Structure 1
Amino acid sequence: MASTSSLPALDASRLSISLTETPFPIPTGKTTTKAHTDHLLIVSWTSTQGWSAPQIVPYRPLSLPPTASVLHYATSCYEGTKLYRGYDGKLRVFRLLDNCRRMKDSATRASMPAPDPNELSKLVKELCRVEGPRWLPSETSKGKFLYIRPTIIGIDADLALHVAKEVLLYVVLVTWPENANSPTAIGDKETLPGFKLWASPEDSVRAWPGGTGNHKVSANYGPALKAHSEAEKNGFDQVLWLHGTDRMVTEAGGSNFFVIWKTKDGVLELVTAPLDSGLILPGITRRSILELARTRFNITSKWELDGRTVLATAVNVEEKDFMIVDLIEASEDGRLLAVFVAGTANFVRPVTEINVHSHSIHIDYDAIPHAALLRKWLADMMYGIEESQWTEVIND
């Protein structure tokens, strides 16, 4: 068998494109996550042949043997990012290379070959270039986006428990409901209702030390759906995942979780859980929020928001562990000023209620403008209102 280092690497220059002759109808009216675009990117890998030549082909179902590794041993990881049509008519991606780097880490954690992030980024942008003009026409789609889902799965037809020897990397683009999860949703209670979170029960965890919670592997999500379903049955939107006997706050659903509060010493803090525990997914939106907050909230400043001038008090930005009792105490003391979640799917979404085993924490939506400002700044970058090194224009 050839050594891994001598096998062909993922190479975007080998890409071939075969365009469909029967494009799908563009959905009208209410969009869903079921509608996909006309093509997909596919490239395979084997332990003896390395990466094949990438292809963009007409969309088609995958064909898998019943004994495929992914179906039995969850050899799968994925990414989520978006293709934006800016208000200037240009297509953009946001920190795509960061997503591709995280996919490399996730694939490695799932014992699959890691695609080179730079080459994967080139391939994703090429698929966006193919699909963007038709699915996000510049004349009618300004301020809209498509969701991008790169995925790697093990496809060995072998029930033996071993590292995947055959994998398939594919990328699809899908539509997304035009609701409050959109970066362009107006920041008021009617169009951007706050999330209601339901604290996880003590017998249920999303991640644990030494596990895979800090990687985007598919096996993280299926087992979490039971608690998510219970939250929805009780009238809540997502689960606030707590960990350990001290009930440490980790994530909310599939999003990173942020709090703005005053410490007992009167210091205003923006706090989120740190990455060193191995429990937290290193979100791209999370990283962007921390970087923006550290540079723009370092001093008290006035900013424009939804046609008015608002005052944003300076905050200390902290990545540190905190417990659910800390949230409860801050709420009871009147020190809890804002809670929000952040991620690719939910973008930046305020939280207005947290239920902790029949104890409710209520958060004032309008107490401070910080979360709304972060949302606005990121959306402005994504849609070309503000120039940013985090975005790349795709010529279509």
Structure 2
Amino acid sequence: MVVTSTLSRLDASKLEVLHLSNPKPVPGPDDASILDLKTTTDRMITASWTAQNGWANPQLVPYGPLSLMPTASALQYATECFEGMKIFRGVDGRLRLFRPLYNCQRMLRSAERISLPSFEPEEMLKLIRRLCFMEAPKWLPKDRIGSALYIRPTMIGTDSSLGFKVPEEAPLCIFMLYWPSPSMIPDNSLPVSRHGMRLVTSSEAAIRAWPGGTGHAKIGGNYGPTLLEHNKARARGYDQVLWLYGPDRRITEAGSTNFFVLWRTPAGQLELSTPPLDDEGLILAGNTRQTILELFETSFRTHELNSLEPCNVLEKRITMPEIESAVAEGRVLCAFVVGTAAWIQEVEEINYDGRELRINVGKAPHVSFIREKLAGIMLGYVENGWAEVVEEPAKLMEGGDR
């Protein structure tokens, strides 16, 4: 849906700040209460939209429930989309967002796909920066290096008409919660109980996305239907479902993450491969996915860049029969999944139609190199334009506005 010139546009400069009267305590870094992913910060940003007037002035308000009717479009027809990104406390004490405009641009694409209102991604980013400015200094103390808040912009259709139509009302809500994952120091990102993740391939009767569908958009309708297979996998001791598509059993995503394999071609050439973002729309264009591709491309073109073997980087279709053959022939050096929440996690096993394929973990220096480089950028060890520093107030005003 295109916002015309007669409607008000989303404008971060018109943000209204409401008073905060009951600030919440910040949990300790190991507090069990944060593990349920319910520990939100004190405030959130909301902005309402109507088809008649466009965007109202955004507001910074205390975190709390939204009001909507049982007939709301989001409840009846799943008209909603969201994003996910993090803000980190770096080694130099500064706060950093990682390529946040990428996520804002992707949310616009998701909103358009699900018939929700348009907005300028730059304006959403300004609102995110403002929320981080107000909330992150308190919730990410300077002595908690590597700690993070997860940022979740969300838009839902709240039109109260039960009619099947494009929503005429839709609020935007941006909130943050304390993220309980370990510090992003290299080697702390793998499961404690094992060396890597265990994946099980989806059955031919189960499908996550299909050509012409919404697999490329970040909408709830892509996630809820996969919980049935996800819970079956967890009950069998696996971490995620490796989603396959088509009679050739080609790989799409692993749970809600992007999949990579570092392997050798039959001719012996080292290659990093990941499924492509083609016109079928089966795969979400992950921020971390794009970053991994760019880092591999710039880091391993030639021997002169570092001491590691050069590596070709390809976005191409990957089938499970190809993976199975490569594992049997000893050509798979490493497989891993990436995402904002998942970070970079290596895969130690793939159960493919009942056959267990074992994969090396921790023996691919290219992946360790990239993990350390990316963590260095996010946490401020290395200066890089991808990491955007968020300024902080000179003084926090406890118990009120800040």
TM-score band (shorter)? over 0.9
User: Is the aligned partner of 1:169 residue 2:165?
Assistant: no
Whole-Å separation in 2 of the counterparts to 1:217 and 1:326: 31
1:124 Cα offset (Å): 0.4
User: Is the aligned partner of 1:361 residue 2:362?
Assistant: no
The 3-state SS of whatever aligns with 1:184 is coil
User: Is the aligned partner of 1:393 residue 2:389?
Assistant: yes
Whole-Å separation in 2 of the counterparts to 1:373 and 1:346: 18
Q: Against the structure 1 CA distance between its residues 3 and 105, is the aligned structure 2 distance closer, same or farther, given a 3 Å change threshold?
A: closer
AA aligned to 1:194 is G
Q: 1:44 aligns with which of 35, 45, 48?
A: 48
Whole-Å separation in 2 of the counterparts to 1:77 and 1:173: 16
Residue in 2 aligned with 1:81? 85
User: Is the aligned partner of 1:67 residue 2:68?
Assistant: no
Whole-Å separation in 2 of the counterparts to 1:164 and 1:174: 28
Q: Against the structure 1 CA distance between its residues 343 and 188, is the aligned structure 2 distance closer, same or farther, given a 3 Å change threshold?
A: closer
1:84-163 matches, within 5 Å, as 84-138=88-142, 140-163=143-166
Q: Against the structure 1 CA distance between its residues 193 and 63, is the aligned structure 2 distance closer, same or farther, given a 3 Å change threshold?
A: farther
1:176 Cα offset (Å): 1.6
Q: Against the structure 1 CA distance between its residues 146 and 51, is the aligned structure 2 distance closer, same or farther, given a 3 Å change threshold?
A: same
Residue in 2 aligned with 1:381? 377
Deviations 1:51-93 (A, max 9, x none): 0001111111111111110001000000000011111001110
Whole-Å separation in 2 of the counterparts to 1:190 and 1:17: 41
Whole-Å separation in 2 of the counterparts to 1:301 and 1:172: 44
Equivalenced residues, count? 385
TM-score, normalising length from structure 2?
0.93
AA aligned to 2:18 is S
Q: Against the structure 1 CA distance between its residues 274 and 190, is the aligned structure 2 distance closer, same or farther, given a 3 Å change threshold?
A: closer
AA aligned to 1:373 is F
Whole-Å separation in 2 of the counterparts to 1:190 and 1:342: 14
Residue in 2 aligned with 1:275? 277
Whole-Å separation in 2 of the counterparts to 1:236 and 1:19: 46
1:178 Cα offset (Å): 2.8
Q: Against the structure 1 CA distance between its residues 148 and 190, is the aligned structure 2 distance closer, same or farther, given a 3 Å change threshold?
A: closer
C-alpha RMSD of the superposition: 1.6
1:190 Cα offset (Å): 6.9
Residue in 1 aligned with 2:187? 186
Which consecutive residues of structure 2, in runs of 5 or more, have no partner in the other structure? 393-402
AA aligned to 1:183 is M
Deviations 1:283-327 (A, max 9, x none): 000000000000001123686xxxxxxx53211000000110000
Cα pair 1:187 1:372 within 8 Å, conserved: no
1:266-345 matches, within 5 Å, as 266-276=268-278, 277-300=280-303, 311-345=307-341
- State which drifts further: 120-129 or 292-301: 292-301
1:183 Cα offset (Å): 2.4
Whole-Å separation in 2 of the counterparts to 1:190 and 1:237: 10
Residue in 2 aligned with 1:16? 16
Whole-Å separation in 2 of the counterparts to 1:63 and 1:56: 16
Deviations 1:313-349 (A, max 9, x none): 2110000001100000000000011000011010111
Cα pair 2:3 2:118 within 8 Å, conserved: no
The 3-state SS of whatever aligns with 2:5 is helix
The 3-state SS of whatever aligns with 1:232 is helix
Cα pair 1:209 1:279 within 8 Å, conserved: yes
AA aligned to 1:64 is L
Percent identity of equivalent pairs: 46
Cα pair 1:301 1:314 within 8 Å, conserved: no
Q: Against the structure 1 CA distance between its residues 70 and 387, is the aligned structure 2 distance closer, same or farther, given a 3 Å change threshold?
A: same
TM-score, normalising length from structure 1?
0.94
Cα pair 1:4 1:47 within 8 Å, conserved: no
Q: Against the structure 1 CA distance between its residues 195 and 302, is the aligned structure 2 distance closer, same or farther, given a 3 Å change threshold?
A: farther
Cα pair 1:255 1:343 within 8 Å, conserved: yes
Cα pair 1:301 1:313 within 8 Å, conserved: no
Residue in 1 aligned with 2:209? 207
Whole-Å separation in 2 of the counterparts to 1:160 and 1:147: 35
AA aligned to 2:357 is I
Cα pair 1:183 1:375 within 8 Å, conserved: no
